[in-house]
């Protein structure tokens, strides 16, 4: 369906629905002001009408092909009538009593689709409006009424409903050739987005503009619409995703988000959204509220980058917050709201203890998020969505690395700028039952250097430490001549760790520490059985019993995190930079040096030194379109692991090499030299060569190199 066809059908649908609801409102003038009650199958509840309140409303959820019977028993007062409609206002049954008739029923009403239905109770025509009390009962039979699976398709609303004759619309439009996606989550826990086109309470998602960059629109727009009817009051969360740029010129995109509630604007935002970094996501989160009087209010939101997972909620002051003490194995119940977006709980933890925390939403809207804060005030564990595709949260078998008072932060996705609300149940417990006994009392040998990696999922993370002589200790090479030992290796080749929770540990026993620079790498090799494949780890580096580095990271599958540290002959330790190396030359600030870099001629050999103070050198040469160039970089010092980048005249990385093929470079088996062989230039101008080492500024190898440029 085209956007114009969609909008045309939307206008026709609205006119029909408005006519139906005007008729209902004419019969029941107080209907919009009354609270909406929920009918449960097999249960009887009481109600009342009066001259001031001449109608009341109920809702119930049913499955496809169910049949419903709604019964009224007049306890006292005037004659009653009832009407049953679907969520879109289509009348499917009605019944009316008369004076002296105590019972009214609409029996065995067929329900052709699953979802939410409305029941209106009002005074029968001609009965007047005396004070009247009654009992109402719902009975369901057949179809999905007896199926727990179908019942799950009709989530229960925590919020009262209100009749909105013009419905709700969230509209996103932007400028630029980019694929943005709109998602809106309502108070019943249902969502509208490109892959969830309808909800059972009248929600419809419009056209997926610029979807997958297949058809680019000059004025892209997406909308999430709830058709006129009885809709939930409360908090609606809005998420805007920057999926991808559709051309090389598009970067940061300005967009406009407007929300219309019952025909009136609830607010408009005009922020900017930038593309995500490699392997990350870029989203903007906000919310709007539908109030009990039918008005709406859009809140100011903000970007929610991946790094926000480890950021404490706004307003959280660790030193002054009085967290509620929590007892192990004793579940507690709390509530997250826009006014109180997080709650905190405290407990005493012992060093090396394993703990688990489970946070389950009781209300269907709430999308939970868990954080654990250590005694120093640092977030050391976090989980948004637990395994299995749920939006509940669980931190399983997390190892506490020090003794003291820990804090659990129970919050929600996007924290203070998020929009999901509701009750939750939180449980603190010890290690899970499937953890091996040795995991709960992990005794690792001590050494002069200790490098520890902890995580709590099924993923295969590889820990590698390269010593000052250039030898590496990891799962394929568990010992080095210098004395390094791989004591523990968690989840190698996706085999569950013997310790239950994965731990990798490399150490140099007392008396074997060699002065020099050590390189440490964590490689996210394989998600294994993790779903979703998200993982976080803690990396600890200790030298002579002192923690010199403590990093908490959230890698994407395939990423490598690298850092280094240098031990002086005196025992003093200097820790180098740390970061992910998958961005290539983008991690290096080489541009300033490129302007006046030394010129290298074809056939010339230049030498340089990579050190802790000089992690890369820059050279330039003039190239012509059609020329083929070969650049080789060889280490004159055994420990140096070279790395090469070739940058175009337009400052774009066009070639790179870390480890050359010995057959091409002519070396005698040495594979850590670098070679860019026979690269065909496509434009005239000055080209830049960056000579560096593996992992760039994050690496730890040092030494002398020679660099040669050849042109064919």
Give mean pLDDT, residues 21-31.
42
Using the structure block, give the residue that is written with the tokens 């107080």. Answer: 30
Tokens of 441: 């009392």
- What pLDDT, in 10s, does the model give residues 218-274? 899 999 999 988 889 999 999 999 999 999 889 999 999 999 999 999 999 999 999
* pLDDT at residue 343 in the model: 95
- Of residues 709 and 30, the one with the higher pLDDT is 709
pLDDT at 25 over 60: no
Nearest to 489 by CA among 449, 444, 519: 444
* pLDDT at residue 4 in the model: 35
pLDDT at 698 over 80: yes
* pLDDT at residue 3 in the model: 34
Q: pLDDT over 70 for what percent of the chain?
A: 87
* pLDDT at residue 124 in the model: 79
- Of residues 669 and 565, the one with the higher pLDDT is 565
* pLDDT at residue 2 in the model: 34
**Structural domains in the chain plus CATH codes:** 3-154 (2.60.120.380), 162-304 (2.60.60), 309-429 (2.60.120.380), 437-580 (2.60.60), 587-711 (2.60.120.380)
pLDDT at 438 over 80: no
10 Å CB burial of residue 212 (0-12, 13-18, 19+) is exposed
- What pLDDT, in 10s, does the model give residues 653-684? 999 999 876 554 444 444 789 999 999 999 99
End-to-end CA distance of the chain: 56
- What pLDDT, in 10s, does the model give residues 280-298? 789 999 999 999 999 999 9
**Taking the CA of residue 72 as centre, how many other CA atoms within 13 Å lie in the half-sphere pointing to its CB?**
34
- What pLDDT, in 10s, does the model give residues 444-496? 888 999 999 988 888 999 999 999 999 999 999 999 999 999 999 989 999 88
pTM above 0.75, yes or no: no
- What pLDDT, in 10s, does the model give residues 219-233? 999 999 999 888 899
| Bridge partners of residue 599, in order along the sequence | 620
**Distance of alpha carbon 258 from alpha carbon 699, whole angstroms:** 48
Question: What mean pLDDT, rounded, does the chain reach?
Answer: 86
* pLDDT at residue 556 in the model: 87
pLDDT at 712 over 60: yes
> Could you tell me if 412 and 384 are in contact, meaning their C-beta atoms sit under 8 angstroms apart?
no
Tokens of 136: 């109402």
* pLDDT at residue 19 in the model: 41
pLDDT at 200 over 90: no
pLDDT at 588 over 70: yes
* Three-state secondary-structure class, residue 384: coil
> Could you tell me if 324 and 344 are in contact, meaning their C-beta atoms sit under 8 angstroms apart?
yes
Give mean pLDDT, residues 182-203.
93
Q: Within 10 A of 293 (CB to CB), how many other CB atoms are there?
A: 10
- What pLDDT, in 10s, does the model give residues 119-171? 988 887 767 778 889 999 999 987 533 433 333 333 444 568 888 889 999 99
* Three-state secondary-structure class, residue 591: helix
pLDDT at 11 over 50: no
584's torsion region: left (phi>0), alpha (psi -120 to 50) or beta?
Answer: left
* pLDDT at residue 441 in the model: 56
* pLDDT at residue 433 in the model: 60
Q: pLDDT over 90 for what percent of the chain?
A: 59
- What pLDDT, in 10s, does the model give residues 354-386? 899 999 999 889 999 999 999 988 888 888 888
The 3-class secondary structure across 526-579, one letter per residue, is: ECCCCCCCCCCEEEEEEECCEEEEEEEECCCCCCEEEEEEEECCCCCEEECCCE
């Amino acid at each position: 369906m085209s956007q114009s066809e969609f909008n045309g059908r939307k206008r026709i649908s609205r006119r029909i629905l408005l006519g139906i609801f005007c008729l209902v409102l004419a019969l029941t003038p107080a209907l919009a002001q009354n609270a909406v009650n929920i009918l449960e199958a097999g249960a009887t509840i009481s109600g009342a009408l009066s001259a001031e309140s001449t109608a009341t409303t109920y809702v119930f959820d049913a499955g496809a092909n169910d049949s419903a019977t709604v019964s009224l028993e007049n306890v006292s007062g005037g004659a009653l009538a009832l009407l049953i409609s679907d969520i879109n206002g289509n009348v499917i049954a009605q019944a009316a009593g008369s004076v002296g008739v105590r019972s009214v029923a609409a029996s065995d009403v067929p329900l052709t689709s699953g979802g939410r239905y409305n029941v209106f109770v009002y005074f029968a025509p001609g009965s007047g409006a005396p004070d009247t009390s009654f009992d109402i009962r719902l009975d369901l039979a057949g179809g999905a009424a007896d199926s727990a699976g179908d019942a799950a398709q009709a989530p229960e609303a925590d919020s009262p409903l209100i009749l909105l004759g013009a419905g709700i619309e969230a509209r996103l439009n932007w400028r630029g050739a980019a694929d943005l996606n709109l998602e809106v989550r309502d108070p019943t826990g249902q969502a509208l987005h490109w892959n969830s086109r309808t909800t059972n309470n009248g929600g419809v998602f419009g056209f997926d503009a610029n979807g997958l960059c297949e058809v680019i629109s000059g004025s892209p727009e997406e909308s999430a619409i709830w058709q006129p009817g009885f809709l939930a009051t409360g908090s609606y969360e809005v998420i805007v995703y920057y999926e991808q740029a559709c051309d090389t010129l598009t970067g940061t995109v300005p967009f406009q988000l407007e929300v219309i509630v019952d025909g009136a604007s609830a607010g408009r935002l005009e922020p900017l959204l930038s593309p995500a970094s490699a392997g990350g996501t870029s989203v903007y989160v906000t919310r709007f509220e539908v109030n009990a009087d039918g008005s709406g209010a859009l809140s100011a939101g903000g970007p929610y980058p991946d790094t926000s997972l480890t950021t404490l909620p706004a307003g959280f002051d660790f030193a002054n917050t009085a967290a509620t003490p929590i007892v192990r194995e004793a579940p507690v119940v709390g509530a997250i709201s826009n006014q109180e977006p997080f709650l905190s709980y405290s407990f005493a933890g012992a060093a090396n203890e394993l703990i688990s925390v489970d946070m389950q939403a009781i209300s269907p809207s709430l999308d939970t998020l868990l954080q654990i804060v250590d005694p120093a005030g640092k977030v050391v564990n976090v989980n948004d969505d637990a395994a299995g595709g749920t939006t509940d949260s669980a931190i399983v078998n997390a190892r506490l690395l020090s003794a003291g008072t820990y804090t659990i932060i129970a919050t929600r996705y996007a924290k203070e700028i998020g929009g999901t609300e509701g009750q939750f149940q939180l449980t603190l417990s010890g290690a899970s039952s499937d953890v091996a006994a040795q995991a709960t009392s992990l005794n690792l040998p001590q050494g002069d250097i200790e490098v520890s990696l902890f995580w709590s999922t099924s993923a295969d993370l590889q820990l590698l430490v390269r010593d000052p002589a250039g030898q590496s200790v990891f799962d394929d090479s568990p010992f080095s001549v210098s004395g390094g030992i791989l004591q523990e290796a968690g989840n190698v080749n996706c085999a569950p760790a013997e310790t239950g929770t994965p731990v990798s540990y490399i150490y140099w026993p007392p008396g074997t520490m060699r002065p020099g620079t050590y390189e440490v790498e964590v490689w996210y090799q394989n998600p294994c059985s993790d779903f979703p494949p998200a993982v976080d780890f803690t990396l600890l580096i200790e030298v002579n019993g002192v923690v010199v580095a403590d990093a908490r990271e959230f890698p994407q599958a395939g990423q490598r995190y690298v850092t280094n540290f240098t031990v002086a002959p005196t025992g003093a330790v200097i820790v180098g930079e740390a970061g992910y190396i998958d961005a290539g030359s983008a991690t290096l600030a080489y541009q300033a040096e490129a302007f006046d870099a030394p010129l290298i001629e074809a056939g010339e050999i230049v030498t340089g030194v990579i050190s802790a103070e000089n992690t890369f050198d820059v050279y330039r040469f003039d190239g012509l379109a059609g020329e083929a160039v070969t650049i080789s970089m060889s280490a004159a010092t055994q420990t140096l692991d070279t790395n090469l980048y070739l940058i175009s005249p337009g400052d774009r990385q066009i070639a790179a090499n870390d480890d050359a093929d010995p057959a091409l470079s002519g070396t005698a088996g040495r594979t850590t030299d670098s070679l860019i062989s026979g690269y065909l230039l496509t434009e005239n101008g000055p080209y830049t060569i960056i000579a560096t080492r593996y992992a760039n500024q994050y690496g730890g190898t040092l030494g002398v190199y020679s660099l040669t440029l050849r042109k064919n």
